[in-house]
Amino acid sequence: MARIKHVAVIGAGVMGAAIAGHLANAGIRTLLLDIVPRELNDKEQAKGLTLEDKAVRNRLAQTGKDRLLKEKPAPLFHKSIVERIEVGNLEDDLDRLGKVDWVIEAVVENLKIKQDLFSRIESIWKPGMIVSSNTSGISINDMVEGCSTEFRSHFLGTHFFNPPRYMKLLELIPTKDTDHAIVDEMKAFAEDRLGKGVVLAKDTPNFIANRIGVYGLAVTFQKMLDEKLAPDEVDTVTGRAMGRPKSATFRTLDLVGLDTFIHVYNNVRENVKDEEEKKTFEVPALLQEMVDNGWYGAKSGQGFFKKV
């Protein structure tokens, strides 16, 4: 367990940045990487920067890190902790992954993108380095089916819940080739250093907690549409009234990200065998329309609720 001292998180979105914050808070050296932006934003143009400038190339990772200090009503991490997170990008800094003990993938919920990323990581992988995915429910085995058995022996799913700073649950999902010693090491590290309650899950669609939770969210969403209820009304009765947090249903969806939730719907629908269950995971037209209009939830400032 003392072995994990240096961790890289890939993907500086809702989860990646927050996982990086949680690791830094536990005193672990943390590197946060994202892709290189394809175009300049207004501020960069005004400063005369180009796509070759480091500030532009690292912008997505830096933005994810900065977001940790803008959380409302209060940042989840102190500035001194967030400052310790190093940032970079996947084009210039892939080699830096060779120096870390654990790489956590937290990029967009898309099998092909994850597969491509793991084959790039395998090119710099060295024995001993643990690699994991934070997927909400894509098959862990499918993600690395093109990788070597040695690489797969060090690979597993490490499913953190949102926000990782406060959600105690961590699901560990081994592949059919994952070394038992790696699972044991990760379990001990997650419990002792990250304060997590670890549950071992099989590689079934959405694993355990999301298989139940997402089903509940999907059914509640459909009920809201059928019965023409307002999101706020639903949150009122499914939240504190039931002993759950205020962010019960639709505030939870805003927190998760509506685009990510669509990926989850699609993943379950494509992978469950039961025809009735498949129907539950047809993406509601309203949800698709919101995402098509750029309403991604809290991360874009507008979802079912407006983030001010």
Tell me: does residue 68 bind ligand NAD (CB under 6 A). no
Q: Which is nearer to ligand NAD, 25 or 135 (CB)?
A: 135
Residue whose C-alpha is closest to residue 76's, from 11, 157, 15: 15
Tell me: does residue 254 bind ligand NAD (CB under 6 A). no
Give 217's Cβ-side CA count (13 Å radius). Answer: 24
Q: Which is nearer to ligand NAD, 107 or 234 (CB)?
A: 107
Tell me: does residue 16 bind ligand NAD (CB under 6 A). yes
Q: Which is nearer to ligand NAD, 12 or 87 (CB)?
A: 12
Tell me: does residue 109 bind ligand NAD (CB under 6 A). yes
Tell me: does residue 190 bind ligand NAD (CB under 6 A). no
Tell me: does residue 174 bind ligand NAD (CB under 6 A). no
Give me the count of residues in the chain: 308
Tell me: does residue 13 bind ligand NAD (CB under 6 A). yes
Q: Which is nearer to ligand NAD, 28 or 256 (CB)?
A: 256
Tell me: does residue 113 bind ligand NAD (CB under 6 A). yes
Q: Which is nearer to ligand NAD, 152 or 263 (CB)?
A: 263
Residue 278 tokens, joined: 């498949």
- The span of 65-73, 130-138, 213-221, 230-238 binding ligand NAD (CB under 6 A) equals 130-138
Residue whose C-alpha is closest to residue 136's, from 111, 165, 167, 115: 111
Tell me: does residue 21 bind ligand NAD (CB under 6 A). no
Judged by DSSP in three states, 35 sits in coil
Tell me: does residue 206 bind ligand NAD (CB under 6 A). no
Strand 155-160 relative to strand 169-174, pairing: antiparallel
Helix, strand, coil % in the chain, rounded to nearest 5 = 45, 15, 40
Burial of 27 (0-12, 13-18, 19+ CB in 10 A): exposed
Q: Give the residue, chosen from 257, 258, 281, 304, that forms a contact with ligand NAD under the rule CB under 6 A.
A: 257
Q: How many residues bind ligand NAD (CB under 6 A)?
A: 25
Tell me: does residue 152 bind ligand NAD (CB under 6 A). no
Strand order in the sheet with 155-160: 86-89, 29-34, 6-10, 102-105, 130-133, 155-160, 169-174, 197-200
For 22, 30, 41, 106, 159, the CA distances from 17, given in Å and listed in that order, are 9, 10, 21, 9, 14
Tell me: does residue 1 bind ligand NAD (CB under 6 A). no
Q: Which is nearer to ligand NAD, 25 or 89 (CB)?
A: 89
- The span of 22-30, 158-166, 174-182, 276-284 binding ligand NAD (CB under 6 A) equals 158-166
Tell me: does residue 303 bind ligand NAD (CB under 6 A). no
CB within 8 Å of 235: residues ≥ 6 apart: 246, 247, 248, 249, 250, 251
Q: How far does Cα 211 stand from its chain's mean position?
A: 16
Residues 33-62, interacting with ligand NAD (CB under 6 A): 34-35, 60
Residue 296 tokens, joined: 């991604």
Q: Which is nearer to ligand NAD, 135 or 178 (CB)?
A: 135
Calpha distance 298→260 (Å, rounded): 12
Amino acid making up residue 97: L
Q: Which is nearer to ligand NAD, 63 or 179 (CB)?
A: 63
Residues that bind ligand NAD (CB under 6 A): 11-16, 34-35, 60, 106-109, 113, 117, 134-136, 160-162, 256-257, 260, 299
